[in-house]
Amino acid sequence: MTELLEERRESWGTRGGFILAAIGSAVGLGNLWGFPYKLYSYGGGAFLIPYIVALFLVGIPIMILEFSIGHYTQRAAPDAFKRGHKRFEIAGWWGI
């Protein structure tokens, strides 16, 4: 009788913990300090509007895609992208 060995992986304890860790990873302390300076330097609202548009059109969809690929494959980003095609492994490393 063959028994399948299932690899046990750690997971997040709560959904809130995951969300806070993801925000902390994506934002970083340097961005919190640098954003007000950039906002002031590049014209306030004139900079803020394209920034928000780019965030919603590019940033959030790419983040959701990366989370989805990681959730589906249950692997770290480089290994998850490598499962799609060996040439995509660099995309996983680039995101780190």
Residue length of the chain? 96
pLDDT at 1 (0 to 100)? 46
Strand boundaries in 2-75, DSSP class E: none
| pLDDT tens figures, 20-77 | 888 877 777 777 788 888 888 888 888 888 889 998 999 889 888 888 888 888 888 8
Q: DSSP label at 56? A: I
